[in-house]
Structures are given as C-alpha cells and as structure tokens.
Amino acid sequence: MNCNEAAPLLPTYGDGELDPMQSAEVEKHLLTCAECAARRDEQVALSARIKRDVPYFAAPPSLRSRIDAVLAGTRGTLRSRPVWDRWRWLGAGALAGSMATVLAWLMGSAVLEWRDGTDLAAEAVADHVRATLSNHLTDVATSDRHTVKPWLSARLDYSPPVQDLSGEGFALTGARVDYLEKRAVATLVYRYREHVVDVFVRPAAEGTARSRSPVSTVRGFNVVRASGAGMDWLAVSDTSADALTAFVARLARGDAAP
C-alpha cells in the first residue's frame, strides 16, 4: 500500500471502522511512512482534544425530575384504564394472527428471561473481549481516580466508587462505559501483572439476590461477582480466579482511603 492508497483510508482507520484486512495494510504502511503517520497522529490529537476539552452536557437534575413526571403520568393513565380496554386491540386484528403473535411474544419473553438469568457473565466477557481486540480498553485513560470518577458520573445516572489498588498489584489504568443487560454501566480497567482486568460496576439491584455461584468461567476467562458499597461488582480477567476474587472483595468492601 502506498500513500495515495493509504491517505484516504486514514480517517476511517482512526475511527476504527476499517475492516481488519485493510486495517492491517494501513498499519504496515504507517510503520514506513512518516508523513501518513503524522496525519494519523494529527487526527488522534484532534479526537483527544475534543474528548478532553469539549464539555459533555449530562442531563441536569431538573430534566430528570421532568422526565420522572412524564413517566409517572404514563403509568397513571395505564392504571386507570379498564383491563378489557388494554386488550381491545385483540379484536381489531385477525384473531388467529393475534393469537400467534401473543404466543410468539410469550415464548420470546420466556426465552429472554431465561437468557437474562444466565448470560450476564457471557455478556461481560464479550464486552471484555471486544474492548481488548479493538484495542479500545479505555475511553478515559488515567490512573487518577479523581479524574475517572467525575468522567463516569457525567455519563451515567450513578457515580461508582473508584479506587486505585496499585499497592496490591492492581493498577487503575482508566475507565470506559459499556452495556450490560441493556444498561450503560461503568467499567473500571485495571492492570494486574500482564493481565487486563475489567470491573463492571452498577448500582446494586434491589431484592434480586442471585443464587448463582459468584465465580464462573466463560471461554477461559474468570468472572467473579460481588456486592458491596451499594454496588454490584463483576470482574472479568484471564488472571487466576483466586486473585480476582480477593480483588473484587476488596473493591466491594470499599474501605480504601476516600
């Protein structure tokens, strides 16, 4: 690949949207071409500046209370409607078709609920693998927990506790926002020796004490769960389950310096 071929692909490469084959070719070219490498650096610098300096406007509390009012209104009107009214749509369509739809929906939601109960670990591992493969481990890369915490609270509707446990071998390297069970969650990224450790943190689910074992293995990755400090913690790594369990317990205890 020469400059004429590589240059138009650079923005797409920088955005991580090239297919792996083209990506590898661009990378090869970048190793040998200072000019294209400088263009790539320029885009990276611009992206980093935008991420760092351009304010991200999180929804203010006043908006959240307005939204709550809208939703409360929704539920209120629902409750006041008679039961038969909610099912009147059944009469509107062909009955057989409706029955088939309802059956499909019931089966679909049963399957979804079952998957919901068993796939959390798999989903977390998938997030971990995706981040590792795409080399996009962190959205905010810093070992300073006083930077990580506000960055996360600006993007989520909660503020997870953030600790740097370098003293115990787990060095905080940054954070990103992932999705677990369709919700945005904080992912704290640590390094432990040569291993990357992702810790997913979300507010503790109310009244859903899960009976499953706190330690499981998915595709060779250890997944450890814990609850504490008002949060549910879920760590994924290829390091040993023992080290991971001790680490997560330490995080969930939340007794480090404030």
Question: Which residues lie near other proteins (CB under 8 A)?
Answer: 7, 11-12, 15, 17, 35, 38-39, 41-43, 45-47, 49-51, 53-60, 62-64, 66-67, 70-71, 74-75, 78, 81, 86-87, 89, 101, 104-105, 108, 139, 154-157, 182-184
Bridge partners, residue 165, by sequence? 170
DSSP symbols for 175-188 = EEEEEETTEEEEEE
Between 11 and 230, name the residue whose CB sits nearer to other proteins.
11
Task: Check if the beta carbon of residue 148 is closer than 8 Å to that of residue 172.
Answer: yes
| Residue with smaller CB distance to other proteins, 24 or 67 | 67
Q: Alpha-carbon distance 227 to 251, whole Å?
A: 9
What minimum distance in Å lies between the beta carbon of 197 and other proteins?
22
In the complex, least distance from residue 101 CB atom to other proteins, rounded to whole angstroms: 6
Shortest gap between Cβ of 26 and other proteins (angstroms)? 15
Q: Which residues pair with 137 in a beta bridge?
A: none
**Nearest approach, Cβ of 81 to other proteins (angstroms)?**
8
Nearer to other proteins, 38 or 205 (CB): 38
Q: What DSSP line would sit under 13-70, residue for residue?
A: HHTT-S-HHHHHHHHHHHHH-HHHHHHHHHHHHHHHHHHHHSPP-PPPHHHHHHHHHH
Assess contact for 222 and 206: CB atoms under 8 A. Answer: no
Our CB check for other proteins shows the closer of 112 and 240 to be: 112
Task: State the Cα–Cα distance between residues 121 and 215, nearest whole angstrom.
Answer: 10
Beta carbon of residue 168, minimum distance to other proteins (angstroms, whole number) = 31
Helices (H) and strands (E) in the chain, counts: 11, 6
d(Cα 184, Cα 177) in Å, to the nearest integer? 6
Residues 57 and 19: their CA atoms lie apart, in Å, by 32
Q: For the CB of residue 253, give the shortest distance to other proteins in the complex, in Å.
A: 28
Q: Which lies closer to other proteins via its Cβ, residue 86 or residue 212?
A: 86
Place of tokens 């919700």: 183
CB of 94 to other proteins, least distance (A): 13
Q: How far is CA 105 from the centre of its chain?
A: 28
